[in-house]
Amino acid sequence: MSLSNNRLSGYIPPELGLMTGLNSLFLYENALLGTIPHSLGNISGLQILSLAANGLFSSIPDNLWSLSGLRVLNLSGNTLDGSLPQQIGNLKFFDKLDLSKNRFSGNISSILGNLQMITYLDLSKNSFDGEIPSSLDRLVISIGYMNLSYNRISGTIPKSFTNLGKLYSLDLSFNKLQGPIPEGGVFSNSSIVSLEGNPALCGAVKLGFSPCPPPSNSKSNLYLLKYILPPIVLVVLLLSCFCTRIIFRRWGKKLKLPSEDASLNTIRVISYRELVRATNNFSEANLVGRGSFSSVFKAYLDDGLITAVKVLNSENQSALRSFDAEYCVLSKIRHRNLVRIISMCSNLDFKALVLQFMPNGSLEQWLHSHNYYLDLLQRINVMVDVSLAFEYLHHYHPHVVVHRDLKPSNVLLDENMTAHVSDFGISKLFLGDSHSILSATAPGTLGYMAPEYGSTGKVSRKGDVYSYGILLLETFTRKKPTDAMFDGELSLRQWVTRAYPSAVLEIVDPDLLKESVDIQREPSSPIIVGQCLSSLIELGLSCSRDSPQKRIQMRDVVPKLQKIRNDFLSKSPRS
């Protein structure tokens, strides 16, 4: 019984419990309120229950865990609370459990290790605490997707997680984890594991974390910290203050302090001379790209690190504003799908940002250049990465960040083909409670720019959602919004809308359809690919609606896109 994706309101009728022969019940993405009826536990043959994205509250009825044949339970996107009961271990045939985006709390029960057939576990965006139970390593033969992000989980990451060989996605980000990151297994692949937002973790330098300190004698360390170190620190601080006072008295008129930017304390200021050496005097051979505001060079720093140096056109006032905006944003954010700022160099005549180098170039060249090709799964992965970046910027950063210029050339790919959003030159950082402003500055790139930018000048998160929707349509149709065929009244979105849903396969990139026939060699493969592409196109159209109020939010885009990917992987012969 499927009544999902409607506008059903009110309460779930308890009479549904009388349908004892029901196998599957889908009521997700409606406007249902109240509690989950206790009577649903009477449907003894129930295998799939999805009540996601409604307004349900209170706890899960205890007798729901007695449905021994239950394989899929999706209750995400409600306001349910309570803890995970021990009875959950009775569900021996569990395949998928999604309780994300609720208010569950307490420890993650070790009984989850009994779910030997589970392939998908999502407990993200709740209030779970305690440690990760080591019993989860017993899921080695089944688990492919595990998401425990955005909780309050503490302790260390179990070393045995390296044995979970079937994992294609592990997200432990934004918790309170600490200690060394296990080596090997899933933790050797940055495109699979996500650990950001756990500042007390160490090791795994490839994932962007500091090396762990070497082990030492605890007793001697305690003595050092308690009796010897404090006097030394006090003397050093007094000397530093004394010397600083003398220096500022002598040179105070010549020195200009950075304005209200604490980030300079954590980002190293690199010298112009080192940048000259690193780029071979900014030679054309090191030139990666050039725009109206800046030129980007590949650089080899003195410590051997390969970086990208973005040199601003100092004669262009807009470029100088771009530099200030980009530095302001990049110095305050950190996410695995955002280009990371490494250093900066600024004086009266020269301004440059030293950024993470992306050896696989941009999505632009992979979509529209000869001899480049991304298959369907690679394109989905790129769009998932971009959606995660914008979910963070819009909903999980302390201050809302609106990018305003999302397009394929601003999506860069690292050595593992993980996507990183770049170019924050015209972005806006909203402080306080304001989530929209009126702007008179350049709002973005034609074709990707939201309609309200041109008509009202209003800048908000919904403008980024529109650009994301256009990027999604471009990625799977391989048609630019500025293509010559889109002139007059016809736009990329209108062209796609006319084909959806009956003629989707006529407007998608033909190479994706050839791939399903030539590579997978399964009779059902074209159907699977077609279903996947249709879902992707539908999501792109939902994001790019003309009315900002009708566009979905990025925090809703992420689970939809991840579901599309998971459905494709579960049905694809190559999975």
Catalytic residue annotation: 405
Contact 127, 152 (CB under 8 A): yes
Write down the H helix ranges in 180-316: 218-223, 229-251, 272-278
Contact 130, 154 (CB under 8 A): yes
- Classify strands 306-312 and 294-300 as parallel, antiparallel or unpaired: antiparallel
Is the bond preceding residue 559 a cis peptide, omega within 30 degrees?
no
| Contacts of residue 231, Cβ cutoff 8 Å, sequence gap at least 6 | none
Structure tokens at 77: 């996107």
Q: Rounded to an integer, what distance in angstroms lies between the CA atom of residue 339 and that of residue 358?
A: 9
Q: Rounded to an integer, what distance in angstroms lies between the CA atom of residue 558 and that of residue 551?
A: 14
DSSP codes joined into one string, 1-67 = -B--SS--EEE--GGGGG-TT--EEE--SSEEEEPPPGGGGG-TT--EEE--SSEEEEPPPGGGGG-
| Contacts of residue 383, Cβ cutoff 8 Å, sequence gap at least 6 | 419, 471, 472, 475, 536, 561
HSE-CB at 519 with a 13 A cutoff on CA atoms is 14
Instruction: Give, in degrees to the nearest 5, the angle at Cα 243 between 239 and 245.
Output: 120
| Contacts of residue 550, Cβ cutoff 8 Å, sequence gap at least 6 | none
Instruction: Give, in degrees to the nearest 5, the angle at Cα 125 between 121 and 130.
Output: 80
Query: What is the chain's alpha carbon radius of gyration, rounded to the nearest angstrom?
Result: 26
Q: Rounded to an integer, what distance in angstroms lies between the CA atom of residue 462 and that of residue 366?
A: 27
DSSP H or E run through 377:
helix 376-391
Annotated binding-site members for ATP: 310
Question: For 25, phi and psi rounded to 5 degrees?
Answer: -135, 115
Task: Tell me the helices (H) and strands (E) count for the chain, helix number first.
Answer: 12, 29
* β-pair partners for 107: 129
Q: Rounded to an integer, what distance in angstroms lies between the CA atom of residue 287 and that of residue 75?
A: 50
Q: Rounded to an integer, what distance in angstroms lies between the CA atom of residue 140 and that of residue 122?
A: 16
Task: Indicate the angle between helix axes 554-571 and 525-543, nearest 10 degrees.
Answer: 180
Structure tokens at 32: 């249902």
